[in-house]
Amino acid sequence: MKFFDRINEVRKRISEVEHNIYHGKEEFLEIYEKNLQLEQEIEERTKELNIANKRMLTLQNILDMMNSAKPLKNVLETVVNSIQGEFGYLHSTIMRKQKDNDGDYLSVIAEADDITIQRANNILKTPIQARRLCYTKYSIFYNTIENRRIVQSTDIAASLNAIMQDESEELINEIISDKSVRSVIAIPLYAFNKPFGVFCVFSSREELAKSETDFLAMYAQQIELAITIADLFERVKEQAVTDGLTGLYNRRYFEECIKKEVIRAQRINQPFSIIGLDLDYLKKINDTYGHTFGDIAIKTIAEVLKSNARSIDTAARMGGEEFNILLPGIDSKGAMVAAERIRKAVESKTLDVIGNVTASVGVATYYEHTENVEELLELTDQAMYQSKRDGRNRVTLAKLISETSWQEI
């Protein structure tokens, strides 16, 4: 009996050990599964944190660029390149809404330099950045700008067709044949609460999470801020060098230009000329009709100078009714022709109430008349006042400095 009792006791202990081992195994498996789940959650949170950090760094990069002295184009190009790759975006671009005689259109003002756009441009021959893109009603870009909301589309062909209507369907299909781009996301850009354009990203994913939408909206706000700051900077810069009444350059800017032109002329041994122009009888106009009409006459002179100047010429209002035009690379003969053309253009203008206005004009040329800038400007004035003494509404070429007495100067 004792033998069997011992066997039963041993069996009972073995059963207890097996039971403990089984429950221990269940607890171990439960702990193991919990650890795996925890590790997965940590990995997911780490990925989310990395994405958040990348987004913050990207936004910080925009802020750093805005605090720099770089032009808006350089800032925007850095912006579109900053968002590449990190978030599964294959290409990004900024298109501006513009208007001409044919109506509204879009033009690319900044685009990322990547394989996607290089491939598209190779197929198109004419780069997208050099094109006048269609602003098609009800397209993704139209809806984005007009409704001021983020729009996503997985119909890449329709999106491209909307802005390049002159291209064939076969060509568009060739561009998207690699199927790498799965969706296009358009984000509206506004400046001074007016439509500026659209920030567009081409994604390798079809889904668009809310967190991604929030980020893109925030990203677009930084772009809008950069555009606004750049625009304000350009306005301040323009006001610093332009005359408020006429829109021409002011005396300070003209004097800076002539200094640079002297250096260039000496380097390549080339002349340049100055045309000085003075509106005739401004005091009489002011006294007879009032200063408002005097301002109209002055602005008329400015418009004539703008329409008759070359792109490399510099026209400036020197003060009052006096104007100067700097003509790089032009000798006295060419300057006299240009001056006479301007004089005739002024004379041909008929203004309400005032009637016709005229101007007295003088011309002097660097190297031909003098190699001293101050003397050149003085000789231009002397020639201009000689036109007044000779009866006004005429052009006078300056005398050589050797022929000018010190009393005249």
Helix (H) or strand (E) holding 355: strand 355-356
Q: List Cβ neighbours of 172 (8 Å cut-off, separation of 6 or more).
A: 157, 160, 161, 164
Spatial distance between the Cα atoms of 119 and 96, rounded to a whole number of angstroms:
23
Annotated active-site residue in 224, 321, 322, 368: 321
What is the torsion angle, in degrees rounded to the nearest 10, for the CA atoms of residue 240, residue 242, residue 243 and residue 249? 140
Question: What are the φ/ψ torsions at residue 242 (nearest 5 degrees)?
Answer: -120, 155
Q: Quick one: which of 298, 361, 366 has its CA closest to 327?
A: 366
Spatial distance between the Cα atoms of 405 and 409, rounded to a whole number of angstroms:
7
- How many Cβ atoms are within 10 Å of 329's Cβ, its own excluded? 15
Q: Quick one: which of 89, 63, 90 has its CA closest to 78?
A: 63
Block residue for tokens 């650890």: 35
Spatial distance between the Cα atoms of 178 and 289, rounded to a whole number of angstroms:
72
Q: Count how many Cα atoms sit within 13 Å of the Cα of residue 83 in the half-sphere of its side chain.
A: 28
Spatial distance between the Cα atoms of 333 and 248, rounded to a whole number of angstroms:
25
204: its two tokens? 């390798």
Contact at 8 Å (CB) between 275 and 327? yes
Establish whether 321 is a catalytic residue. yes
Contact at 8 Å (CB) between 106 and 164? no
What 3-state class would DSSP assign to 130?
helix
Strand duo 103-111 + 133-134: pairing: antiparallel
219: its two tokens? 């990203």
Block residue for tokens 């805005």: 66
How many angstroms separate the Cα of 151 from the Cα of each of 126, 139, 144? 27, 10, 6
Report the catalytic residues. 321
